[in-house]
Structure 1
Amino acid sequence: MADRRTVLSAALTLGAAGLAGCSAPTSSSTGAGSATTTASKGTTIAAASVPVGGGVVAGSFIVTQPTQGTFAAYSYLCPHQGCPVTRIDAGQAICGCHNSVFSLADGSRVSGPANSGLKAAKATVADGQVTVTA
């Protein structure tokens, strides 16, 4: 039988490894074949990867292009209970937890249990890249 010190040491080691696995990645794919870069200053994505009239999830943001050359961004956290809004379909962002629906044009609530729209973020465009900050 293992002594108390050995058991506690093993538990702490496993706990630290588990926490390390929960850390956020430094980059992710938008599903459109283009990479996003997430840094402490925000998330950067190629402007060409955001469809006109649509949007993509980039890091912890939803980046939209309501009209050609006009970009907007929103936090991807649903205001209802904080679940990530990761589904983009037919000009709308849909929360997978409770099906709140938001407009990609302005982030407003369309339907569902959320009582407000998505929180706006700042989107700036330079050199074919969209950088989003909270």
Structure 2
Amino acid sequence: MTSESVQPVPGPNRRAVVAAAGAAGLAVALTACGSDDKASGSSTGQGATGGGATNEGGGASAGAGGGAALAKTADIPEGGGKIFKDEKVVVSQPAAGQYKAFSTICTHWNCPMVDLEGDTISCTCHGSRFSVLDGSVKKGPAVKPLEARQVTVDGDSITLA
């Protein structure tokens, strides 16, 4: 009988397999929690600041979100707001004739928000609440305010810039 030595088969060691599995899990988690900034930025004029309305004639930008009227000024209650789900924006009227807009994407984990009561928009994912009048956090776990969006008022039409 001959004695043959058994050669180990080359391949990944346990440490490499565990590291690869951890990296894959992290990638999946980060993808699930990531935001869709490219899509929302191109259709809502992301990068515009202020969140306030302007009364300049024809002030809408030539993008997918600009041009067509979003709402009539009479549609937005004073001291409250209205959600526009497709545009992922809430438009509010903090004071008579003053209009502001904010993203409806929660700053905690990027969940879309559609629950609006009075001047408060709520996230059903983790319970964060925000003021639609100024975008501030009313209740955590979110710590960052809502992202401001730019709107233009021309006559009685509100347009997302």
Structure with the bigger RCO (C-alpha within 8 Å, sep 6+) is 2
SS of the counterpart of 1:48? helix
TM, length-normalised to structure 1: 0.66
Which residue is equivalent to 1:81? 109
RMSD over aligned Cα atoms = 1.5
**Percent identity of paired positions between Structure 1 and Structure 2:** 35
Which of residues 33, 40, 61 is equivalent to 2:64? Answer: 40
Between the aligned partners of 1:104 and 1:41, the Cα distance in structure 2 is 20
- Looking at secondary structure, tell me which structure has more strand per residue: 1
- Amino acid in the other structure paired with 1:50: I
* Equivalent position of 1:8 in the other structure: none
| 1:100-130 deviation per Cα after TM superposition (whole angstroms, max 9, x unaligned) | 1111220011112111110000011012111
Unaligned runs of 5+ in 2: 1-62
Moved beyond 6 Å, runs of 4+: none
Number of residue pairs aligned between Structure 1 and Structure 2: 95
**Residue in 2 that maps onto 1:60:** 88
Shift of 1:90: 2.6
- Structure 1: gaps (5+ residues): 1-38
Matched, 1:118 2:142: no
